């Protein structure tokens, strides 16, 4: 396993880029909320039906990210009281894979948000908003790339830190995020019956659908 200093430096670098993404999203959303008013005439209402467990999953993954961030300051304290996951000879290999996954997640988040633009909304705010079906860019291949980005980032951090608590949070939050995606798809089918069903045939939920599968 990498020593504590290396792990903390890796986490710091991750959160520098993640922080940039969050600041970019917040500032852009404020501008987009103003622009969004100009699009209202041709958009459809998103009913935003509540799904408590799905929202709980999103919150759990947020807690996961906070705990991962706290490791920057208290990593040695955590390792003293919380046992690390023992991957034996694969430990450092998985940490390298984790760095790659975390970086890929940050990149995917940035690309996805830029493509979604004015139509992005926080999944647990409960607000009814008008929506447009975005099927361009990364959304032409994957229906939920933002959720994919959080899977990648959290799995990457889990592999880097190798903490049992993070593993538990990742499993619970991951299930909730999956249910959130299913819930949103049901809402979008109601809002765009034909368009979204056709869209689902050519795209994967979190991963690119193979051409042979699309043809079948």
Residue 83 CB neighbour total at 10 angstroms? 11
Domain 4-207 has CATH 1.20.120.1630: yes
d(CA 16, CA 11): 9
pTM of the model: 0.84
Q: What gap in Å lies between CA 201 and CA 1, rounded to an integer?
A: 43
Specify the pLDDT at position 101: 97
Look up residue 39 and give its DSSP letter: G
Q: What is the pLDDT along the chain (216 residues), one digit of tens a residue?
A: 788 899 999 999 999 999 999 898 888 777 766 555 555 544 455 555 556 666 788 889 899 999 999 999 999 999 888 888 988 889 999 999 999 999 999 999 999 988 877 666 655 444 445 567 888 899 999 999 999 999 999 999 999 999 999 999 999 999 999 988 998 899 889 888 889 999 999 999 999 887 655 555
Specify the pLDDT at position 53. Answer: 64
Q: Which residues pair with 130 in a beta bridge?
A: 45
Give domain limits for the chain.
4-207
């Amino acid at each position: 396993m990498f020593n504590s200093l290396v792990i903390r430096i890796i986490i710091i670098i991750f959160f520098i880029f993640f922080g940039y993404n969050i600041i970019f999203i917040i500032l852009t959303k404020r501008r987009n909320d103003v622009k969004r008013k100009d699009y209202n005439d041709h958009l459809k209402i998103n009913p935003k039906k509540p799904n408590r467990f799905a929202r709980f999953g999103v919150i759990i993954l947020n807690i996961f990210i906070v705990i991962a961030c706290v490791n920057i300051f208290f990593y040695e304290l955590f390792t003293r009281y919380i046992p690390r996951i023992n991957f034996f000879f694969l430990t450092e290999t998985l940490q390298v894979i984790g760095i790659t996954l975390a970086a890929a997640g940050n990149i995917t988040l940035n690309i996805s948000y830029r493509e979604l633009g004015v139509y992005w909304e926080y999944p647990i705010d409960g607000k009814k908003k008008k929506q447009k079906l975005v099927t361009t860019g990364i959304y032409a291949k994957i229906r939920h790339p933002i959720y994919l980005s959080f899977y990648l980032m959290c799995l990457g951090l889990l592999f880097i830190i190798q903490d049992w608590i993070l593993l538990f949070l990742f499993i619970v939050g991951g299930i909730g995020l999956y249910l959130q995606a299913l819930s949103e798809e049901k809402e979008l089918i109601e809002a765009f019956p034909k368009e979204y069903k056709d869209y689902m045939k050519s795209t994967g939920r979190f991963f690119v659908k193979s051409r042979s599968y699309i043809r079948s």
